Amino acid sequence: MTDDDLTAAAQTVDAAGAVVERATAHLAALAEVDGRISVSRLDEHQVLAYDLAHAASAVAAARVMLDYATLGDLEADIARAFIADAAADLGAKLIGREGEWGTDSTELAASVPFISAYRDPVFLAGLADRLVGFGTGPAHLSDDFELVQETFHRFAEDKIRPVAEHVHRDNTDIPESVIGGLAEIGGFGLSVPEEFGGFAAGGESDYMGMVVATEELSWGSLGVGGSLITRPEILTRALVKGGTEEQKQRWLPDLASGVKMAGVMVTEPDYGSDVAGVKVTANPVEGGYAINGVKTWCTFAGRANLLMLLVRTDPDRSAGHRGLSMFVVEKESAPGHSFAFAQDGGGTMEGRAIDTLGYRGMHSYEVAFSDWFVPADNLVGLEAGLGRGFYLQMAGFENGRLQTAARAVGLMQAAYEAALTYAQERTVFGRPEFDYQLTKVKLARMAVLIQAGRQFAYAVARMMANGEGVLEASMVKAYVCRSAEWVTREAMQIHGGMGYAEEFAVSRYFVDARVLSIFEGADETLCLRVIARRLAEQALEATPA
């Protein structure tokens, strides 16, 4: 990329960033009450807040791509295409709603020549040609992380892909050979500290290693491989944050080795992202607590041996999230789509799998507890953990959104590769489908979105390793997961009628992608309650008194 090109790209990003900044200040002014952001006032402008959250996320990704642009000519073209695409998308959000945004589309006027040049179908078709043989562009990983990538890619190719279609079509359990094989290569110990038998050393490598491994496992299959290492990581981070030394010694080595598998129970039938409303209770009884209530969307709860359970220990519901605590519930592994356990004292735990459109293999359960006894020793943090469940859950989920972005990247990569191969092999009207401009432009945009998502995830991983990036983790999750829906849809479309046939994996990629904007924080909740709210708070903090 020439200096002029780099300057034009940077000016476009700055112009888009200025629009977002002014709109954020406008939103903050609309939602401010007594010097603070009012959620109810914010909710009066949900459309603005939602679009602004996605626009801010795109700008953050574009800034990352400015750095990527300096790494080579191909990288520069990918970056320019992404920045032009993101700026054009911002313009589409803005036009006709300038009053609501508190700005106008002329803010981007100076960037129109850049946007036009790098959204030009001729340029994008040429980019698709250049990418043949180069995937979606160089990732620029260090040697150590390239080794991680190769290890998990090989495992996904050899162990996950051969069973992925069977698991999806028949809605079967994940084969034990996959679980055991992943344990052998250390997949379950990536976030467990070294002193407890894992590989986490407390630096950047912990986050980057998890992102790289997750992408490759998801390339194999989102349902069979993409989330297998997520649940152990969530429980591990919660235990590291708030568990006693004895609890860490008791559970972490088994999590690292794969001897014990983890499930997570947070959501309830009436409370999804609104965790403060949790109703499942843990009441003190002799020697421990009695659990009563129903949890839902408990992924992997049947196969799991350890369940991370968020419950209400304070009967005063006005305490909200401050009345929640976390337990580790131990249980036997239960194959299939249902389970039922009974204790000598009369307690019961019953679960049934919820049939889903995609993302099959791990199974998500609804689980009912009736006077289920849990020893006091299983309260994370013991007495000091009472009322800290929400905070421990947040620590556990800290990396979950970043991981979900990596899952989306892996799934998109698989869809792109399938679409490219099919387009090269399929003849339409006497020519390979790949020879048509529309096909090339679609494939180019796929590659651009994938590489931007990948580089954004890498950047957030580095930030989180330094104790930062919590907001950016939400941004990368929101932006990349929505991109995955478009990429898999277009990959399916390139397959034509065969894309709708289950014999082609691309149909599975399409239905699997749909869950990404729902779990680990539904897109709307993430944008309104986390991203837009925090951006507005930052804007208010920056306003002179």
- SS3 annotation, 337-362: CEEEEECCCCCEEEEEEECCCCCCCC
The residue annotated as part of the active site, out of 21, 350, 520, 537, is 520
Q: How many CB atoms lie within 10 A of CB 184?
A: 11
Q: Which two tokens stand for residue 147?
A: 């080794």
Q: Cα–Cα distance between 488 and 508 in angstroms, integer? A: 9
CATH superfamily, domain 143-257, is Acyl-CoA dehydrogenase/oxidase, N-terminal domain (1.10.540.10)
Q: What is the DSSP string of 387-412?
A: T-HHHHHHHHHTTHHHHHHHHHHHHH
Distances (CA, A) of 40 to 318, 329, 369, 471, 522: 18, 37, 35, 21, 19
Give the pairing type, strands 262-265 and 306-312: parallel
The pLDDT score that the predictor gives to residue 398 is 73
The pLDDT score that the predictor gives to residue 1 is 54
Please tell me if the domain spanning 1-119+520-545 has the same topology as the one spanning 143-257: no
Averaged pLDDT of the chain: 94
**CATH fold of the domain at 262-387:** Butyryl-CoA Dehydrogenase, subunit A; domain 2 (2.40.110)
In the chain, % of residues over pLDDT 90: 86
| 470-475 LR contacts (CB < 8 Å, sep 24+) | 470/398, 471/530, 471/531, 471/534, 471/535, 472/60, 473/398, 473/399, 473/401, 473/402, 473/405, 474/401, 474/521, 474/526, 474/530, 474/531, 475/53, 475/56, 475/57, 475/60, 475/61, 475/531
Q: Cα–Cα distance between 311 and 304 in angstroms, integer? A: 18
Give me the residue spans of the domains in the chain: 1-119+520-545, 143-257, 262-387
Give the pairing type, strands 324-330 and 338-342: unpaired
What is the four-CA torsion angle of 352, 358, 360, 362, rounded to 10 degrees?
-70
Q: Cα–Cα distance between 458 and 97 in angstroms, integer? A: 34
The pLDDT score that the predictor gives to residue 423 is 97
Helix, strand, or coil (residue 87): helix
Whether 310 contacts 329, CB under 8 Å: no
Catalytic site includes residue 75: no
pLDDT digit string, tens, across residues 309-360: 999 999 887 788 899 999 999 999 999 999 999 999 999 999 999 999 998 9
Residue with tokens 């969530």: 234
Which CATH number, 1.10.1060, 1.20.140, 1.10.357, 3.40.50, labels domain 1-119+520-545? 1.20.140
CA 238 to chain CA centroid, Å, is 18
Question: Which stretches in the chain have pLDDT values below 50?
Answer: none
- Give kind and range of the element (H or E) at residue 330: strand 324-330
Residue with tokens 């279609």: 165
**What residues does 330 pair with on adjacent strands?**
306
Torsions phi, psi of 536, nearest 5?
-65, -40
What is the four-CA torsion angle of 315, 316, 321, 324, rounded to 10 degrees?
-20
The pLDDT score that the predictor gives to residue 543 is 80
Q: Cα–Cα distance between 280 and 324 in angstroms, integer? A: 10
